[in-house]
Amino acid sequence: MSGRRACLFSVLLSLLLLQGSAFVEELDDSFMETKGSDEIWLIEFYAPWCSFCKQLDPVWHEIGSELRSLGSMVQVGKSDATVSTGLAKEFRVRTYPAILMLKKNTKYNYAGPRTKEGIMDFANRMEGPVVRSLSSPQLFQHAMSHHNVMFVYVGATSELKGNFTTVAEELIVHTHFFSTTRDVLPKSVSLDYLPAIVVFKDRTYLTYDEESDGDLKAWINRERFLNFQHIDSYTLYAMGESGKLVLLALVEERHLCSKSLRYKHLVERVAEEHKETYSRFFLFGFMAAGDYINGFVMGEVTVPSLIAVNLSNDGYYQPAGPVETERQLLDFLDGVLDGTIEMKGGNGFSQRVQRVIYETKATVIPVFRDAPLIGCFLAGFPLAIGAFFCFLCCRNQTIPDDDEDTAALLASSVPQRKKIKNKKSD
Ligand X SMILES: *[C@@H]1O[C@H](CO)[C@@H](O)[C@H](O)[C@H]1NC(C)=O
Q: Is 338 in the site for ligand X (CB under 6 A)?
A: no
Question: Looking at 312, 325, 354, 406, which residue binds ligand X (CB under 6 A)?
Answer: 312
Minimum CB distance to ligand X, residue 351 (Å): 12
Question: Is 50 tagged catalytic?
Answer: yes
Minimum CB distance to ligand X, residue 283 (Å): 12
Which range binds ligand X by CB under 6 A, 17-25, 69-77, 308-316, 417-425? 308-316
State the Cα–Cα distance between residues 136 and 139, nearest whole angstrom: 5
Specify whether the CB–CB gap between 146 and 190 falls below 8 A. Answer: no
Ramachandran class of 203: left when φ > 0, alpha when ψ lies in -120 to 50, beta otherwise = left
Q: Which of the residues 150 through 189 are near ligand X (CB under 6 A)?
A: 159-160, 163
Question: Is 53 tagged catalytic?
Answer: yes
Q: Which positions from 194 to 213 touch ligand X by CB under 6 A, shown as an x/- string?
A: ----------------x---
Q: Binders of ligand X: how many residues, by CB under 6 A?
A: 8
Minimum CB distance to ligand X, residue 340 (Å): 12
Minimum CB distance to ligand X, residue 398 (Å): 41
Which range binds ligand X by CB under 6 A, 23-31, 56-64, 305-313, 323-331? 305-313
Q: Which positions from 358 to 397 touch ligand X by CB under 6 A, shown as an x/- string?
A: ----------------------------------------
Minimum CB distance to ligand X, residue 224 (Å): 18
Catalytic choice (7, 53, 257, 376)? 53
Start-to-end C-alpha separation, the chain: 59
Which residues, 6 or more positions from 118, have their beta carbon under 8 angstroms from its beta carbon?
112
Specify whether the CB–CB gap between 312 and 277 falls below 8 A. Answer: no
Q: Which of the residues 215 through 254 are near ligand X (CB under 6 A)?
A: 245
State the Cα–Cα distance between residues 301 and 298, nearest whole angstrom: 9
Please, which residue, 136 or 158, has the CB nearer to ligand X? 158
Please, which residue, 313 or 363, has the CB nearer to ligand X? 313
Which range binds ligand X by CB under 6 A, 265-273, 284-292, 297-305, 309-317? 309-317
Please, which residue, 113 or 155, has the CB nearer to ligand X? 155
Minimum CB distance to ligand X, residue 132 (Å): 21
Binding positions for ligand X, rule: CB under 6 A: 159-160, 163, 210, 245, 310, 312-313
Q: Which residues form the catalytic set?
A: 50, 53
